[in-house]
Structure 1
Amino acid sequence: MYEYHKLTPQQRLELVQERLKRGFPPHSPPHPIQIEGFYLLTIACYQHQKILNNSSRRQQLLNLLFEKCIHEAIDIRGWVILVNHYHLLVYLPNLSILTSIFKAIHGVTSYQWNLEDNQRGRKVWYRFSDRAIRSERHYYTTLNYIHYNPVKHNYVNSPYDWLESSVHWYLEEKGREWLRDSWVKYPVRDCGKGWDD
């Protein structure tokens, strides 16, 4: 979405035509795989605005996500909530149930945060994108990617320094050695390599 704004009018037209030719929506993320399974979900604030700029908002969002997902039998396996986007590693019975869940959560949070910021009418959220998990390696590399995301974006020096992340749950449940071994076996530098082969 953000690269689109940098394109010339002709490049934009060609990009939209290519997306339509492939059966994708012209301006929103496609959801080509819709089967039961594990997915990486990425949800961004509109134009990457830093609306989740305090821990209480990030925690509120996380609580709402768990509340709604448990109700819909969605198993959240990994998460990180950052200042302008968040990632979830989930097991979904059906991808189509996400629309109503995100609509409910994002509607409540948008209304509340816009009131708090005196920004009535501001667009807070953009559509979600998904990536079907294809293998055990893809799963654990994705989990490590999620945990490393606050470091990648220069918010902290260590994944353990970011509070709204599942790294703390894994540390408590599996231990530091398990996390370290997973990091060595499934490094983030390989994130995306060969998954579509």
Structure 2
Amino acid sequence: MSDYRRARVPGATYFFTVNLLDRSSDLLIREIDLLRATVRATKARHSFHIDAWVVLPEHMHCLWTLPEGDADFALRWKVIKFAFARRLPKSEALTATQRSRRERGIWQRRYWEHLIHDDLDYHRHFDYIHFNPIKHGHVERLADWPYSSFHRAVRQGIYPVGWCGGDADESGFGER
């Protein structure tokens, strides 16, 4: 069995990509209230700060900052994925391996994480997260995608409402 090495730095900020097993599914936006409730409950038990998050139909990207002295993002993802799947009706086809491991066929087993190294790395990932609904063709204007922390970033003055889709003087991927 492979030993996956993960960068574990207490109190650090990480970028994540988490996918559904069925990449043609719309489960994450169809069950957005359940996903939000699951994340809130996980944060209440295992604190972390959400810097940015976007949920697309079949995958999501986020930036988290962990508490000082804590590097256990794996526990948080395990709790989120398990709690979300547990509350869904069992309708997916399972492989023999999934059945033997008592897994659901909801999530890809692994996820991708990246330790944020500096301010430029942070800003690039922050922008990437928020640009994703346009990248995947879900909307032409980010303000039209409801499943994103883009709206919070606009309220905080980080982005203008027309960033990456809208008035020409307010758009421009990567510009601030």
**Same fold (TM > 0.5):** yes
Structure 1's consecutive aligned runs of 4 or more residues displaced over 6 angstroms after TM superposition are none
Deviation at 1:159, TM superposition (A): 1.5
Matched residue type, 2:71: L
Q: Which residue of 2 aligns with 1:119?
A: 92
Q: Which residue of 2 aligns with 1:169?
A: 152
Deviation at 1:155, TM superposition (A): 1.0
The C-alpha deviation readout for 1:140-195, integer Å capped at 9, x for no partner, is 111111011111111111211111100011111226449859975835xxxxxxxx
Tell whether the 8 Å contact from 2:92 to 2:106 is kept in structure 1 after alignment: no
Tell whether the 8 Å contact from 2:19 to 2:60 is kept in structure 1 after alignment: yes
Q: CA RMSD in A?
A: 2.9
The equivalent position to 2:78 in structure 1, one of 84, 95, 103, is 103
Matched residue type, 1:107: F
CA distance 1:53–1:133, change in 2 (3 Å): closer
Higher helix proportion (structure 1 or 2): 1
5+ residue gaps, structure 1, are 1-19, 188-197
CA distance 1:68–1:154, change in 2 (3 Å): same
Deviation at 1:100, TM superposition (A): 2.7
Q: TM-score, normalised by structure 2?
A: 0.74
Q: Is 2:4 the counterpart of 1:40?
A: no
**CA distance in 1 between partners of 2:170 and 2:118 (Å):** 15
The equivalent position to 1:150 in structure 2, one of 103, 123, 133, is 133
Tell whether the 8 Å contact from 1:38 to 1:91 is kept in structure 2 after alignment: yes
The SS at the match of 2:57 is coil
Q: Which residue of 1 aligns with 2:64?
A: 90
Q: TM-score, normalised by structure 1?
A: 0.67
The SS at the match of 1:80 is strand
The C-alpha deviation readout for 1:1-43, integer Å capped at 9, x for no partner, is xxxxxxxxxxxxxxxxxxx9xxx64xxxx44311121110111
The equivalent position to 1:68 in structure 2, one of 33, 36, 42, is 42
**CA distance in 2 between partners of 1:185 and 1:163 (Å):** 19
The SS at the match of 2:6 is coil
Tell whether the 8 Å contact from 1:140 to 1:182 is kept in structure 2 after alignment: no
CA distance 1:174–1:71, change in 2 (3 Å): farther
Deviation at 1:136, TM superposition (A): 0.6
The C-alpha deviation readout for 1:109-168, integer Å capped at 9, x for no partner, is 2233344xx336451012221101111111111111101111111111121111110001
**CA distance in 1 between partners of 2:121 and 2:78 (Å):** 28
